[in-house]
Structure 1
Amino acid sequence: MAEQIMPPGSQSAPHRVEEYYWSNVVFKVGDGLFRVPRGQFIAQSEVFAGMFGVPSPAENGNVSVEGESDENPIVLEGYEEKDFKALLGVLYPSMFTLTRRQDLDQAELTSVLKLSTRWEMHEVRRYAITQLSGYYSLTPVEKIALARAHWVSDWLIEGLTTLVNDNPKLSPDELEASVGLRTAFRIARLKLERNSSTVYYFGRTPGRGTVIQTDAGALVRETFMDEIDEMVEVERSYGPADRP
């Protein structure tokens, strides 16, 4: 007979410890089926909290409930299996993900940022932004692309400012291919404006002097003001993003 694990003299009725009393749900993403606890989806995402807050058909006497079996999963259309797996690595870290030598790589964190933004997972989004900002050397072009795709104003300003400062130095064709024609044109104009406003101060010693240039960040903020303001407004709905 198996020994019961019960404190001596315990008479109280057992109660559910809600954070560890899991109800599973089956998702279909791409060709993959995922059976996972739905608690973190409810806790982290306003989108899923609303979805799961709707009474299930089972309460109306229906037998088949969406998400309860492999045969009738909740289908997440338009998403990729690899992105969903990366998100689950943050929501439900296993001993493998906790003990492997490296954290999620840049591609995985980008997946996490994409889905957490789409599904209003505010804490998860902040985590992804902090990790990408602190541990990966995003190129200026990557910062601009990610900022525009996922509403991160700091990255937009940083990326544009770096390109205005000519770091890295890109040809007009490379710049256009990287950020699009309109943005490339505006960056090129800011480069000219910045260089034309350079002031040289020379001391008494020949060959020595101080070069003062207009701040590229200020030029970027002024030129891209409308886009930056819109991005900041959207960001507010996700709360403040932690920075390393």
Structure 2
Amino acid sequence: MAEIIPNVTPGPALENHSMYSWDIVSFVVEDCIFSVPRQHFVTGSEVFAKKYGLLDSVEDDTRAATPDLHRDPTPSKNTTFNNDKKLIHLDGVTKPEFETLLKLLFPVFTGSTDPTLSQAEWVTILKLSSLWHFINYRKVAIATLRKQIQAPLEFVEYAREFGVSEWLVLGYKELVVRSETLNERIGTKLGHIVAFKLSIMRETRLKESQAQSNGRHNSPSSSSKTLTPPTTEDRIRARFRGELEKIIQREKEYRTKEEIAEDENSRLEEEGLQQKQIRIQIEEAQAKLLKDEEDLKARQEQLQRERVEVEKKLLQLEVSNLMPAHGNTAMNSSPPGFKNGVP
């Protein structure tokens, strides 16, 4: 009996959704495997994606997991395989820390679209986003912690650890303006040299405040004549310029491509303005030199004319002195035998 083949009409061609069609990647942190969508890690940090080979396609992962000619004979030190599954081992992170990052990347819906994270969890996110260059997540963490952190020592500590220059200024400023004095514990955490500088700034600020208060009572009009002193923030930036510059250089590592392009454009514009200013200065110098040369030439010509006039006057004077002398000689000379023209 002949086999009956059912008449199957092929369905419409299917394609993956451009946004909601995610590949799964498996990370190993300590003794735990996390299987999560790859896309968030690829788009979140190019540095992370390159370091852990996330730019490879899923097909590449499958081929690498099978024992054939396609398998990389020297796989990455961060990569292992388990039941044909590629496992990426993450270093520099604990299991609870990675869980905290995943709370932000893949929030569990609980009636609110905003993830509720503690200050400690946001510090963890700041740590990992800085470590792995998740720039946008780092910005979110910085903005959130700015509102949550209260202690100036925490601002200073996190500024130094994670490279946030404004937090260093903010922490130092709070320590200068607050009424509570700097104690030994603060000095130990800050470093004794920093604590000494801040103590001097506190004393200077107190003296200036007292002087201004006395000035207002003694001479109301004199205060308006004095120059406005620099702010505490300005003084901090000047006094701790070296430390700030180091942190600012670290901050530049966490710029987006757009920010890098913007900074480059600003740099080129600034260089263009500087070159334009230099050209203007050169043109002004050349114009001044030309004018000086013209003035010198005019002065030389004037001196030459004056010299000619002087020489003319000298010649006229010599002639005038010679003419009477010859006349007197003719009149006073007498022939022999005559005295004054009389025989």
TM class, shorter-length: 0.7 to 0.9
C-alpha deviation, 1:177, in angstroms: 3.0
* 2:63 match: 58
- Distance, in Å, in 2 between the alignment partners of 1:44 and 1:101 is 18
**Given the superposition, is the C-alpha separation of residues 30 and 180 from structure 1 closer, same or farther in structure 2, using an over 3 Å criterion?**
farther
Does 1 or 2 have the higher relative contact order (CA < 8 Å, sep 6+)? 1
* 1:156 match: 168
* 1:202 match: 216
Q: How does 1:1-244 map to 2 (within 5 A)?
A: 12-50=12-50, 51-53=53-55, 56=61, 58-59=63-64, 60-62=69-71, 66=79, 69=82, 73-96=87-110, 99=112, 103-134=116-147, 136-166=148-178, 169-198=180-209, 199-200=211-212, 201-203=215-217, 215-239=231-255
Encode CA deviations 1:87-123: one digit per residue, 9 max, x unaligned: 1111111214x63997211011110011011111111
The answer (yes or no) to whether the contact 2:61–2:86 under 8 Å persists in 1 is no
Larger Rg: 2
Encode CA deviations 1:45-85: one digit per residue, 9 max, x unaligned: 11222132256583553399836648863221231112111
C-alpha deviation, 1:214, in angstroms: 5.5
C-alpha deviation, 1:203, in angstroms: 2.9
For residue 202 of structure 1, give the secondary structure of its aligned residue in structure 2: helix
**Amino acid paired to 2:23:** S
How much is the aligned-residue C-alpha RMSD, in angstroms? 3.3
C-alpha deviation, 1:172, in angstroms: 2.8
**Amino acid paired to 1:30:** E
The two structures have a TM-score, normalised by structure 2, of 0.57
The two structures have a TM-score, normalised by structure 1, of 0.78
Encode CA deviations 1:6-63: one digit per residue, 9 max, x unaligned: xxxx964211124322221221223332111111000101122213225658355339
Encode CA deviations 1:105-146: one digit per residue, 9 max, x unaligned: 101111001101111111111111111123x14311111111
- Distance, in Å, in 2 between the alignment partners of 1:32 and 1:89 is 16
Figure out how many residues of one structure are paired with residues of the other and give that number.
Answer: 225
Between Structure 1 and Structure 2, which shows a larger proportion of helix residues? 2
Between 1:34-43 and 1:195-204, the stretch displaced more is 195-204
- Distance, in Å, in 2 between the alignment partners of 1:82 and 1:185 is 39
- Distance, in Å, in 1 between the alignment partners of 2:150 and 2:161 is 15
For residue 237 of structure 1, give the secondary structure of its aligned residue in structure 2: helix
- Distance, in Å, in 1 between the alignment partners of 2:205 and 2:157 is 24
Q: Percent identity?
A: 26
